[in-house]
Structure 1
Amino acid sequence: MRRIPNFASIRAFEAAARLESFAAASDELHISPSAVSHQIRNLEAVLNVELFVRHPRSVELTVKGRALARRLTKALDGLEESLSPWMPNAEQLGLSVHCAPSFAAKWLSPRLGRLMSEPNPLYIHLTSSAIAPELTRHEEIDVAITYGAPIDRIGVTVEPLGTELIVPMSSPQFFNATQMQNVDTLKPGSLIDSQLSPVRWSDWFEHEGVPHRANLRGLSFDRAALVLSAAADGLGIALESTRLAETELSNGTLIILEGWKPPLKQEMHFLCYRTAMKGSRKIERFKEWIMKQIPAA
C-alpha cells in the first residue's frame, strides 16, 4: 500500500502554494477558501510540519512548505501529462469577462473564435457596459476590461493592454485626405465628439499646435463604435483608436487623414482583476492569449 496523504489535501496545498493565495486556489479548485484552509491543515497534521505562515490578510510558505511545493508541482505536472491521452474531454475553464462595449463589439468578439478553436478552449461569459464594475464586490466577474482609465481600487491588479494610435479618420467621400494640410481645410460641424474618450479633439488641436475652433464641433456620441459608424457613414471626422477601427480601415470605409504631426499614442484599455486571483490558471491563460492578439503600436 502506498503511503500517500489524502489527495484532496495535496491538491489544495499545491494550488495554494503555486498561486500564493488560498482565495485563488479556491477559485481554481471550485471549493471555498475555508475548505482549502481545512485541507491544508489536514496535510500539515499528517506530515507534522507547518507548511504556511498565516498572516491576517495573506499566507506565506515556510521553507519546508516551499520545498514540498516544488516537488508536488513537478509530480502533478507529470501525472497530468501521463493522463492527458486518456482525457479527451479536458476541464472546461470558464471565465466571466466584463468589457467596455466598443472594445467588446469591435475588437474582442471578432477574435473569440480563435480562442475557442484552441485545444481545451477557455469558455468566455461576456457582459458589457461603459461603467467599470466593482470587482471587489462583484466576485461573479473574473476580469474587467475598462476603457479610458483603469480601475483604481485596493485589491485590484491593473495591466494596460498596450499603447494605441489615436488618429483622425473619415469616410473617403467625406474628406479627401490628400488635401488635409491645415485646420482651415476642416469644415464647420465636421468633428464628431467621442464623449467617453480620454483623448478629445482639444487634445488633438493642442498636439498640432493650433487653436481649437468651436464652430468645428458636430455630432456627439457616448460610444466609440457609434463615432466610427457615423464617420464611416460620411457624417464627419472621428478621432479614435485605430485598434477599434481596424475593420473599417481594412475595408476602406474609413481612411486616416494625413498631413499632420505623428499620431497621438496612449494606453486606452486596461485588464483588471482581483489581486487575490493573481496566478489563477484561467486568468493567466486569458492574459497570455489576449496579449498575443495585440501588436505593438
Structure 2
Amino acid sequence: MTKKILFILSEYGYWGEELLGPLVACDEWGYQSVFATPTGKRPRALPPSLDPGYVDPPLGRTVTAPEIAVAARRLDESVRLDHPVSLAEWLPDRPYQSDPEYLRALEAYHRELTKVDDDIAGYDALVIVGGSGPIVDLANNGRVHDLVLAFVRADKPIVAECYGVACLAFARDWDDRRSILAGKHVTGHPKEYDYKDGTGFLGTDFVIGPPPYPLEYVLRDATAPGGCFHGNVGRETSVLVDYPFVTARSTPDSFLAGQKLVQVLESGLRRYGW
C-alpha cells in the first residue's frame, strides 16, 4: 500500500529547501503527499529561500545552491500547493473557560478529537516544514498541537525542521502540561543561528530584530529531564532521530531529514545522530 505523508506549512512563509528536501525523498519512494495550512490558505516560499545569492547573516555565506533555488521555485509555482487542507476546518478548537457553555463545549471538543485519531489512520507520517513563518502560526497553534499529539498516540513518525521544532516543544497534554519532548534528543535552530535583525514574515510588512524566542532555550527546557538539545554548531548538518521524532536544525539538513524519514518508514530506524 502506498504510504501517505501529511505536510504542515505556515501561511507566513516556508523555507523552500525545507519543503523540497523531505518532499523529494517522499516522491522518490512513491509516497502520496498531502499539504495542509492553518486556515487553508495557499503556502508560499520566503523570497530569500529562492535566492541563491542570499547570504545568511549568522553563517556569513549563501545557503541555497542555484539548482536548489530553481527546484524550490518550480515547486512553489506549481499546482501541488494550490489547495491545501485547512486545519481550522479539520480539527476542533479548544474552547475558552469563559465560554458560558464551557463544559458542553469541552465535551464536544473531545468528541471531535476522537475523530482525528480515526482520520490519521490513513497517514504514515507528519512533516512540519520550517522557515520563519511557523513562529507566527504553527508554534503555538492548538490545532497543530492536537495533530502532533494524535500522531504520537498512534506511534507514527513526525519530522520537524528549524522553527517547526517548536511545535513539538509546545504540544502537551492539558492535564500534566509536560512536553512530549521530555527525555528526548532533538536538534533545532541554535542560538548562534538567530538573526540579530531582520526576522521577517511573508504577507506582512512586520519585520523584527531577533526571533521572539530563542528556540534552543525552549528545546533545552522541553527535553529535560533526561533528554538533550544538540545544536551541532560548526558541523555542516544536524539531523537527529529519537523515535517518533526526526528533527532537523536548518536549511542544509532538509534532504538528510527526508532520507531519515524514509529509513524510519522502510527500515525501522529508531535512533540516529546522537
TM-score, L = length of structure 1: 0.21
Q: Computing the radius of gyration over CA atoms, which structure comes out larger, 1 or 2?
A: 1
Higher strand share: 1
